[in-house]
Amino acid sequence: MRGLVVKTPATKYAMVSHLAPTFNRAAGATDPEINTIFRLLEQFEAEYGIDLLHYNDPRQGIYHVVGPEQGITLPGLLVAGTDSHMTTHGGVGALGFSVGYEETIHILAHDAVWSYAMLPILIEIWDEVPFGMSPKDLSLDVVRRIGANGGLNCCVEFAGSAVSRLSVEGRMTLCNLMVEAGARAAIVAPDDKTMDYLHDRPSAPRDQDWDKALEYWRGLTVDSDAEFLRRYSFSAADLEPLVSWGTTTEHVIPVTGVVPEPSTAPTDAAAGDWRTALDYMGLQPGRPIEGLPMDQVFIGSCTNGRIEDLRAAAAVLKNRQAVIPGLVVPGSTPVKKQAECEGLDRIFLNSGLQWGEAGCSMCFGHHDSIVPPGQRCASTTNRSFPGRQGPGSRTHLMSPAMAAAAAVSGRIVDVRKIKPEGQA
């Protein structure tokens, strides 16, 4: 900190997300470099009074899950963090954005940071989301429609009846993936669902402060005369389960579709990117994506590691056996405990999948959980670039239910063909 002091340490948090051990947590991290980082965090906590959620803390988890879950992230707040998926925090009406380490030092010392203005984009999504579709499918569809640069350096504001119907956790998933469209932030105006979600969270306002907060939060709406750089209006009525075929989050197609032909790309540059992606992924144009064999499954991440994500996967896996290896990692320790109280962990374990400790884990090729070179992973994560889940790994992004369907079939399959346990 170069001799600086931390201003208002009570508003600063250090969270162990990416490096938390997936297994054998009682023994701690086995990597000496990671243990060095942990010791430095402990020294930082002791010196500056910042709250450290270490990997053995009962609140620990991915900070895009932990922030809203603990009531640290609240509507109307500016929330900065050293991870690109800070856009997630917009699901509760906060403006979350990522910063670099130099900017972090400035925020720690001054409670402020220089930033250029984010131009606003409005995306309205209307109509009913079809039965069996998930917020992950909705968010992948948005990225596919506007492209990997469609929200570049902007703030995406969501509205419309389909967004209103989403749970708060679903809104977080929707906002989470907007960084994959280049956005610096994404946000959904808070409503009664938001208030219900935040009520009695450990760090949320209480008593009279809660009443004052509600009055303020209810005023955080989209102005009728607001001006936007761009406006989009989509219908969710024809949404299908989506799967990624390539190496960016915009490389997605419906599970009923075929791997695209580069000659159909919108530009010559895109055609080159598609050819490179197809070569890395080992796919041929025109091949149906459904039926593509998978080598393993990962269910978790800041995109899909919340309790409703685990419930959706468990509904498909219940009383079924996985035919390929898989790992399920909750987004936080409270999510893990809730899942265990509901018996979801037993469903995963009985199906043959592993049940890990909270953290980022295999999402980014964690030191103790990676996808081997050349293998395909049906993954509920957010990125599929080369080597994301391990050197040479091939990632196919999809929803938790779709990943669970891949686990029991050993290949990409339309989850609509696999009825959850007990459904006629």
What pLDDT, on the 0 to 100 scale, is given for residue 241?
98
Reference 85, options 184, 217, 228; nearest CA is: 184
What pLDDT, on the 0 to 100 scale, is given for residue 175?
98
Each residue's pLDDT tens digit, 329-369? 999 999 999 999 999 999 999 999 999 999 999 999 877 78
Each residue's pLDDT tens digit, 68-123? 999 999 999 999 999 999 999 999 999 999 999 999 999 999 999 998 889 999 99
Please report, to the nearest 10 degrees, the dihedral formed by the alpha carbons of residues 210, 211, 215, 218 taken in order. Answer: 60
376 bridge partner residues: 394
What pLDDT, on the 0 to 100 scale, is given for residue 320?
97
* CATH number for the domain formed by residue range(s) 242-416: 3.30.499.10
Each residue's pLDDT tens digit, 254-298? 999 999 999 999 999 999 999 999 999 999 999 999 999 999 999
Each residue's pLDDT tens digit, 190-208? 999 999 999 999 999 999 9
Q: Which residue has the higher pLDDT, 411 or 25?
A: 411
Strands (E), 99-238: 119-126, 154-159, 185-188, 230-235
Each residue's pLDDT tens digit, 25-83? 877 778 888 889 999 999 999 999 999 999 899 999 999 999 999 999 999 999 999 99
Compute the distance between CA of residue 186 and CA of residue 305 in angstroms, rounded to an integer.
Answer: 19
Reference 361, options 338, 339, 341, 336; nearest CA is: 336
Compute the distance between CA of residue 34 and CA of residue 392 in angstroms, rounded to an integer.
Answer: 23
12 pLDDT more than 70: yes
What pLDDT, on the 0 to 100 scale, is given for residue 423?
53
What pLDDT, on the 0 to 100 scale, is given for residue 26?
78
pLDDT confidence band for 188 (50 / 70 / 90): very high
Compute the distance between CA of residue 77 and CA of residue 95 in angstroms, rounded to an integer.
Answer: 6
159 pLDDT more than 50: yes
Each residue's pLDDT tens digit, 242-258? 999 999 999 999 999 99
What pLDDT, on the 0 to 100 scale, is given for residue 70?
98
Neighbour tally for 232: CB within 10 Å: 17
What pLDDT, on the 0 to 100 scale, is given for residue 365?
86
Exposure of 194 in the CB half-sphere (CA atoms within 13 A): 27
What pLDDT, on the 0 to 100 scale, is given for residue 424?
44
Q: Which tokens sit at 35?
A: 């243990």
231 pLDDT more than 70: yes
What pLDDT, on the 0 to 100 scale, is given for residue 216?
97
Reference 351, options 319, 316, 376; nearest CA is: 319
- CATH class, domain 85-102+112-235, is alpha beta
CATH 3.30.499.10, the chain: domain bounds: 85-102+112-235, 242-416
Greatest alpha-carbon span in the chain: 66
